[in-house]
Amino acid sequence: KQEVTQIPAALSVPEGENLVLNCSFTDSAIYNLQWFRQDPGKGLTSLLLIQSSQREQTSGRLNASLDKSSGRSTLYIAASQPGDSATYLCAVQANQAGTALIFGKGTTLSVSS
Amino acid sequence: GAVVSQHPSRVICKSGTSVKIECRSLDFQATTMFWYRQFPKKSLMLMATSNEGSKATYEQGVEKDKFLINHASLTLSTLTVTSAHPEDSSFYICSASAVGITDTQYFGPGTRLTVL
């Protein structure tokens, strides 16, 4: 059974710092991996989606990498800002399209000004 | 981009009543819709997978007679929480996969259910 783990559970950094969020999954047979942002009491905002054949995806200050063989992904946030404060969720989709996502518990990030 | 709406966004009800939550894909047809539940400070857990015109597939531990799912069209799925109890209080989120574009799931904004 696929399990997704995110470390750390919470992270506090001063504004301007670069940071890395970690995600690991137990079954490397995934279709894709996705990073989401969730603000308190709100829904999900998709940040980056990495197909199983890809190694990384970039969007602005965000860079996500995927090492499928080792079951790991990282989300790198450059020059963090207070507006980046949120919970970041990692989710994998099983080895075929159209299946549900399996989520980690998330990393709650707090960026202080 | 594809948009998924949920209604209501927030509902408070008395114990024993039933609550219906709607999930709509506004500008695309969804072959499959998923219902997730998120308890405070916990991650999203899949409750059921809903395909248009067929019965939903429920995850282990989710009571199908308590959480009724109907996917009557390619743009609408409903989740009815029957005889709700305080332990059903949670954040319910749906997602939809578009016909022919199944790589991406589009998430609704969620429904906060509070059962008194």
Say if residue A38 is exposed, middle or buried (CB neighbours under 10 Å; 0-12, 13-18, 19+). Answer: buried
Contact B93/A105, CB-based, under 8 Å? Answer: no
Cβ-contact A87, A38 below 8 angstroms: yes
Average pLDDT value for residue range A63-76: 97
Q: Give which of A7, A87, A89, A99 to mutate to test B binding, by max B Cβ within 10 Å.
A: A99
B110 touches chain A (CB under 8 A): yes
Structure tokens at A12: 């506090």
Most confident of A71-80, B21-30, B69-78: A71-80
* DSSP string computed for B25-59: ESSS-EEEEEEEEE-TTS-EEEEEEEETTSPPEEP
- Inform me whether the pLDDT recorded for B102 exceeds 60: no
So what's the pLDDT on residue B116? 96
- B12 to chain A nearest CA, in Å? 15
Mean pLDDT, chain A, integer: 94
Alpha-carbon distances, residue B64 vs A51, A55, B36, B48, B67 (angstroms): 33, 39, 14, 9, 5
d(CA A15, CA B56): 46
CB pairs under 8 A between A and B: 50
The model's pLDDT over B21-48, given as tens digits with 9 standing for 90+, comes to: 999 999 888 888 999 999 887 889 999 9
Structure tokens at A24: 């690991």
A94 touches chain B (CB under 8 A): no
d(CA B80, CA B69): 6
* pLDDT over 90 percentage in chain A: 88
- Inform me whether the pLDDT recorded for B101 exceeds 90: no
Closest chain B residue to A50 measured between Cα atoms? B103
So what's the pLDDT on residue A97? 63
Closest chain A residue to B3 measured between Cα atoms? A45
Confidence of residue A94 (pLDDT cuts 50, 70, 90): confident
Determine the 3-state secondary structure of A80 from DSSP: coil
Contact A102/B103, CB-based, under 8 Å? Answer: no
So what's the pLDDT on residue B100? 63
Contact B43/A101, CB-based, under 8 Å? Answer: no
- Inform me whether the pLDDT recorded for A108 exceeds 70: yes
Cβ-contact B93, B79 below 8 angstroms: no
| Parallel/antiparallel/unpaired status of strands A62-67 and A86-94 | unpaired
A40 touches chain B (CB under 8 A): no
- Inform me whether the pLDDT recorded for A98 exceeds 90: no
Among A43, A97, A104, whose Cβ lies nearest the Cβ of B109? A43
So what's the pLDDT on residue B103? 65
So what's the pLDDT on residue A1? 87
- Inform me whether the pLDDT recorded for B114 exceeds 70: yes
- Inform me whether the pLDDT recorded for B14 exceeds 60: yes
